[in-house]
Amino acid sequence: MSVPTDVVEIFRRRTRSPLRPRSSDLIPIIFPTFRLVIPSSDTLILGEAEQWGRNVFVIAQQKPKPENLRTKEDLAKLNHGMLTAEDHSHIVRFLKRAVTKSYHGELVSVVTLIDTYGADISMESASRYQAFFIAHLIRDFLTIPLPTISVIIGEGGSGGALAIQMTDRRAQFDDALYATAPPESLAAIIFRDPTKVREALMLSRPTAEELRRLGIIDHVLPAPKLVNDVNGYAKVLGAYLEKTVKDLARRKLAALIRLRRSRAKSFGVYQEEAKNRKGLWNSFFRLTPLRRKATPLPDLKTFSLASHDLQPGVDWGEDSDPAVNPEEYVKCGDMTLKNSDHATGCGAVIPLSQFMANHYVCPNCGRSLIMGAMGWINCLADPDSFQEMNRDLSAAHLLHPSLMTPEYQAFLNRQGQRTNFHEALVTGEGAIYGYPVALAICEFYFAGGTMGVVFGEKFFRLTEYACNKKLPLISLCCSGGARLLEGVPALTQMVKTVNCVTRLKRYGLPYISVLGDPSTGGAIASYAALGDIIIAEPNALVIFTGPRVMEARGFPVREEDVRGETLCRNSRHVYERLDFYGDIRGIHEVAERRDLKRAIFKYLEYNRYCQPVSNRYWSPGRKVV
């Protein structure tokens, strides 16, 4: 065949070709009895077909065809080919319909066809809990009691693809691409230039062969010679689906679900390391006392009275004399080395020790800074109660050697100089008003708290520890998304962490998710959106795609619509539209940082007293060791 070998040529000539067959071209050929069940949109097709002795439920994405882009209005529409929150709501209900039919005795299989730039990043979808829908769909595909198949027929972009891609069998055409983010978005994030598509593609390595080697897909389908050969694509795809549907029909559902869980646990862990996991099990549960002292944030801008042009006031006394009291200070509105926006602060001069004790919140106007893991541990856990797990686990222990490039290693080294912690997630056991809990705290000052293979593995190990010790799990999300430098293995940590949450549910353990500022990307579209209780700080940015990327792609940004307080206030509409939101309840409560610990304790204590005495998972006087 004549598919180009250069990934950039594949992207330009094949994957993004306007002549490439769309789902609506392939479905009538493969499924002659196909009928729409829910009216399709420009981007989503949902329907059923009687094929191969089963009722096949088809979920298909598609990008626009040339005829869909003829008017100025069409060209001005920025979210063509991206699933919206409403599309995701349709899929959730469609899956429930499939499960209901199987309960009534019908033989049902689910097939998904993926061709999307990614999830819709408009403010409308974001304010309607787009990230929460993605997390719930990942969970549904991990737990659905039906055989499932996915095929990337064109482009698989970010969470928009991942939401319906983690199935029992996963295939991809060899001229299709699947990446952590569309190359334009990836270039905007990493290179601050959305035109650097070549550099982004070379970094993400989204080809089918690469993804099969990493275990993201399990089968590569040969594309026909001509990119507009609809019958050629349909023939290959139809043959694969027929064989796979029949094969899965012979397997027990319980075995398929166990395999999904096992695969999710292994995502991001290099094969050789996976073999050694059993021998390392004892090290999973090893606790190390946290001996680090609270230090100022790495970008915090401080000054002393002696070096600052301040005029003494009427209360200037001996304690304020720079010669007697050399304490450092911060000025609200000019608190970080990277922040030049003085208009958003009140200008109050605050002693650094007081500022840190108040969890980096201005006591005068309430303006806050993004807080690191040590600050959050001090905010949420009892003093000196936190003990860390897997402190020294690094990407070099887990990641496939081909992804540990010199550039990535240099990046990790630079991040390690900004914080005393060794990765973007800090895990361990602590206590909240004397009650022992498992804690997962994001370290924003290590690579922006991004989810990578270490993040996912540490979350998995903490979940195992919580289940073993019967502890409630508390997570603090303060993340910038997926670790783009790791490629698709970082994206799959969304699946891994969602799988961890489902394990907690099987054990009947409470899970409380706290959303700090910011809660974005893969973190909010996975484990952080699945808490039994979700609490946010008022100004927390809660959105799948960050404002900078939205602006770079031409989308208008209204950050106030996706802040914790606004989203919590809008959560009341969820109960008025349960048909739309399904199991999603939004944000249950907003609490200032100084009140978060009490808010968590309130739900923990309520849950404990609702348990039968024999089932209570802690005793009030239990000592944390």
Same domain, 129 and 184: yes
In a domain, 616, yes or no: no
Same domain, 252 and 326: no
Same domain, 315 and 419: no
Domain residues for the domain of 322 are 303-357
Helical residues (DSSP H) of 487-576, grouped into ranges: 488-491, 493-506, 521-524, 547-552, 564-570, 572-576
> Is the whole model's pTM more than 0.75, yes or no?
yes
**What backbone phi and psi angles, to 5 degrees, belong to 152?**
-85, 105
In a domain, 212, yes or no: yes
Same domain, 340 and 389: no
pLDDT of residue 1: 45
Same domain, 398 and 327: no
Same domain, 309 and 443: no
pLDDT of residue 338: 74
Query: What is the domain count for the chain?
Result: 3
Same domain, 60 and 159: yes
In a domain, 372, yes or no: no
Nearest C-alpha neighbor of 480 from the set 511, 456, 515, 451: 451
pLDDT of residue 371: 94
In a domain, 501, yes or no: yes
Same domain, 413 and 321: no
* CATH number of domain containing 148: 3.90.226.10
In a domain, 48, yes or no: yes
Residue 191, CA distances (Å) to 59, 199, 521 in order = 34, 9, 18
Same domain, 113 and 69: yes
pLDDT of residue 317: 41
Residues 462-511: tens digit of each pLDDT:
999 999 999 999 999 999 888 888 889 999 999 999 999 999 999 999 99
In a domain, 196, yes or no: yes
Q: Does an H or E element contain 58, and which?
A: strand 54-61
Task: List the chain residues with pLDDT less than 70.
Answer: 1-5, 74-76, 271-285, 291-292, 305-326, 339-343, 613-625
Helix, coil or strand: residue 600: helix
pLDDT of residue 622: 47
* Domain boundary pick from 264, 289, 317: 264
pLDDT of residue 532: 96
**Is it true that the peptide bond before 518 is cis, omega within 30 degrees of 0?**
yes
Same domain, 351 and 387: no
Residue 553, CA distances (Å) to 66, 121, 126, 161, 171 in order = 20, 9, 15, 19, 29
Same domain, 404 and 449: yes
